Amino acid sequence: MEQLIKKGIDLATEYGPKIIIAVLALVIGMWVIKRVTKLFRKILEKKNVDESLVPFLSSLVSTLLKIMLLISIASTLGFQTTSLIAVLGAASLAIGLALQGSLANFAGGVLILIFKPYKIGDLIETQGHLGVVKEIKIFNTILTSPEERTIILPNGVVSNGSIVNFTEQGFLRVDTTIGVAYDADIREVKKVIEDVLLADPKVMKDPAPTVRVGELADSSVNFVVRPYAKVEDYWDVYFNIHENVKMALDKANISIPFPQVEMKNL
């Protein structure tokens, strides 16, 4: 019994201060980590980082700091942290290899949410797909195509590829070509088309639309017509141009040539 008591006293003498220091370090460390995480979260919110990314990054920073704190405390108590770190490293490598594609998509999602090459509601073209951004998730981006189809793209390939953002400038140029007969007066045709564009309330006045002769084709003089419109008005302006210009040209007796086949008597 005396030997047990003596051994207990020796252990308490040897490890007691270390345990007390470890407990104090744990309490103080957790308080510091909480403060650091809170400060980090405020910085992210101040930088206007995406709302869906703020809690995730804050949680990630908090977890990493806690792991570092626990390793430091274990080292203080005399544990061999080198072996523990080696085991954690090997496990992380194995998990990383198994989830290589998912990790690439995860990293791509983080980059997209941080640098914001596009946001929800933007019209973009990427990886051969055109659509409005419906949702940005950590692993993928969801688009809605003009045909109302749902397109799900992995963030890994999106973040590493080209992205065309049609909404970034706030307006788009509507490109179309109108062909008229060679006997039509060029100045009159330009005036008719310009009047149609100016009368359309959805055609922007600044930048001003362009109407120029673009090509002397085989059977027609082709006018390049380039008005500007807000993103949401693009298709309305596109269809209005063709309909209203056709009616205006008919009213001005300006013909639009079309292919004709002449039948010869044999």
Lowest mean pLDDT among 73-77, 105-109, 156-160, 234-238: 73-77
CB 170, CB 230: distance < 8 Å: yes
CB 246, CB 256: distance < 8 Å: yes
CB 230, CB 215: distance < 8 Å: no
Residues 6+ apart with CB under 8 A from 163: 117, 118, 124, 125, 126
CATH number for the domain whose boundaries are 171-251: 3.30.70.100
Tell me the residue type at 222: N
CATH number for the domain whose boundaries are 117-165: 2.30.30.60
Same fold, 2-98 and 171-251: no
Prediction pTM value: 0.56
Q: Which residue has the higher pLDDT, 237 or 24?
A: 237
Token pair in block for residue 144: 């809605």
For tokens 């999602």, name the residue: 109
Mean pLDDT of 207-214: 92
Domain ranges of the chain: 2-98, 117-165, 171-251
- pLDDT range class, residue 98, cuts 50, 70, 90: very low
Mean pLDDT of 182-202: 93
CATH number for the domain whose boundaries are 2-98: 1.10.287.1260
Query: pLDDT averaged over the chain?
Result: 81
CB atoms within 10 A of CB 155: 23
CB 225, CB 211: distance < 8 Å: yes
Cα separations in angstroms, 82 against 63, 88, 147, 253: 20, 10, 57, 89
> pLDDT above 70 covers what percent of the chain?
77
pLDDT at 144 over 70: yes
Q: Which residue has the higher pLDDT, 93 or 50?
A: 50
